[in-house]
Structure 1
């Protein structure tokens, strides 16, 4: 037990150092450069080098050095917590339903894009059927595959969220519900318990990557805030934000694919654990029954 607690404490310290302190130190260093250079000398790093050289050559009491190190640790940790909080807010924002403006405008814009790409797919399929004579003889060519890829890049389902990330999370629940009748909102905690260790580890790693990407986007906002005193800072923020959003989209796709994989492979295992035998394919009627049982619905409202 002592060894386990020591290992747990070591992992927590490593995560605190990697996720909060080191990025915070880098941000504090950038803030120091920004304040020292200002807008006038924004692109003259030599001024910072000269200032650091002069400061290091002078005598400094040990108490001052200890205070600087302590202040750096505290300041970097505080900046890290702020970036983490911004990342949490961003994750919430990415999942907004988009019922009110301006989020609703984004939903309508994304839906119009999806509709255009879907009509291209339908036109190509109709053309292929006309050339083949019957639908059973259609051979899917690269044109149809590319059109499907462009439509799926907008959304796997008709967009209902203002962001791609929110729609991808929603698409996972819609696709699982359509295929198996399972309501992931209530089924997932139970399904998690029957998954093998490797799949759970993969899902947890992808979820951590998603959280880290949101935190990276939070750091981008902190860098952009330095633009008040140093005009190149927003450019750094844009680059960091682009990397954060790209990583968040990639991690979201990975998590959702793994969640759908869990439902594909281990839905019948969950049914067996609930004493509901599965003699053939996992049907939507069976999934509806399991979802209703786990929601604890009264018999009168069960499907």
Structure 2
């Protein structure tokens, strides 16, 4: 009976957990076990485990997988706070540090803009291949910066904040206020793409948090610190930033292609031209926000 129980347990529950959102939790605890065994020795741990009664062994295995599941569930609840932190919405106690990072991002934005303007002044026929590529890259980088007076302290925050601003600049629609209403009107295929992009962004934030938590295992093994730091850097720069870019572009595209659904559902007259649309869009935003 116990062998059959273990077989079912391993083939069904473990496969489902490790294959889904619990994977970062599984890796975290696996690293903790490895650090523990390095500190106290594999032989002593395996000898102690082997000396325990079989029911206790089963209970320890079940308890271990339950711990993985519970920790994965708890950390997942922090997806939004962690993402907000990575965006740069920090506690007031970090106000000075936030100002320093904003100044740094503002300087980077200005440098990009100055270099872009410098290349634009050169005759296109005189530009080298490298300068043309640089001009294209600088043009893209400027898209992911919000207005100068609304720059965030982190790159992730600037990417998402810029995506929120673009519907307001183009159509007068405040994305923060209008998004919940527009979401209900979007086609299912569009919702699916947005949900997948947001899930990818949330997963990147979750992996970043698990990577920082992994440093805890330095109490038993020195290598936990570099592994945790490198993993957190990778999760932020090579995962979260790209996921935020994709998500922001999809949100902007939803406004570009489906904003008319918002006007129609609210029985609000569709504007005739872009200039008129910005004015009407601001009025619609005011109506949704304040009811007038």
TM-score (norm 2): 0.80
> How far off is 1:23 after superposition?
3.6
Aligned to 1:123: 118
CA RMSD of aligned residues (A): 3.1
Say whether residues 1:65 and 2:57 are aligned partners.
Answer: yes
Q: For the Cα contact (< 8 Å) 2:159–2:244, is it kept in 1?
A: yes
Looking at secondary structure, tell me which structure has more helix per residue.
2
Say whether residues 1:292 and 2:286 are aligned partners.
Answer: yes
Say whether residues 1:178 and 2:169 are aligned partners.
Answer: yes
Q: Distance in 2 between matches of 1:37 and 1:162?
A: 40
Q: Distance in 2 between matches of 1:18 and 1:97?
A: 29
Say whether residues 1:156 and 2:157 are aligned partners.
Answer: no
- Show CA shifts across 1:152-172 (max 9, x none): 437433461111111111101
Q: Distance in 1 between matches of 2:17 and 2:175?
A: 30
Aligned to 1:108: 103
> How far off is 1:266 after superposition?
1.0
- Show CA shifts across 1:152-194 (max 9, x none): 4374334611111111111012111010000112111111122
> How far off is 1:51 after superposition?
5.2
Say whether residues 1:219 and 2:220 are aligned partners.
Answer: no
Q: For the Cα contact (< 8 Å) 2:116–2:138, is it kept in 1?
A: no
> How far off is 1:15 after superposition?
6.7
Alignment of 1:1-303 (within 5 A): 14=16, 18-20=20-22, 22-38=23-39, 48=42, 50=43, 54=47, 58-85=50-77, 87-97=79-89, 100-128=95-123, 143-150=131-138, 152-153=140-141, 155-157=144-146, 158=148, 160-245=151-236, 246-278=238-270, 280-282=272-274, 283-298=277-292
Change in CA separation of 1:86 and 1:186 when aligned onto 2, cut-off 3 Å: closer
Aligned length: 270
Deviates more, 1:210-219 or 1:91-100: 91-100
- Show CA shifts across 1:187-239 (max 9, x none): 11111122111111100111111111111111101211111221000121123
> How far off is 1:253 after superposition?
0.8
Q: For the Cα contact (< 8 Å) 1:25–1:72, is it kept in 2?
A: no
Q: Distance in 2 between matches of 1:112 and 1:170?
A: 17
Q: Distance in 2 between matches of 1:16 and 1:92?
A: 27
> How far off is 1:55 after superposition?
5.9
> How far off is 1:26 after superposition?
3.1
Q: For the Cα contact (< 8 Å) 1:183–1:291, is it kept in 2?
A: yes
Change in CA separation of 1:244 and 1:280 when aligned onto 2, cut-off 3 Å: same
Q: Secondary structure at the match of 1:295?
A: helix
Q: For the Cα contact (< 8 Å) 1:168–1:253, is it kept in 2?
A: yes
Q: For the Cα contact (< 8 Å) 1:87–1:215, is it kept in 2?
A: yes
Q: Distance in 1 between matches of 2:215 and 2:78?
A: 13
Aligned to 2:6: none
Q: For the Cα contact (< 8 Å) 2:26–2:68, is it kept in 1?
A: yes
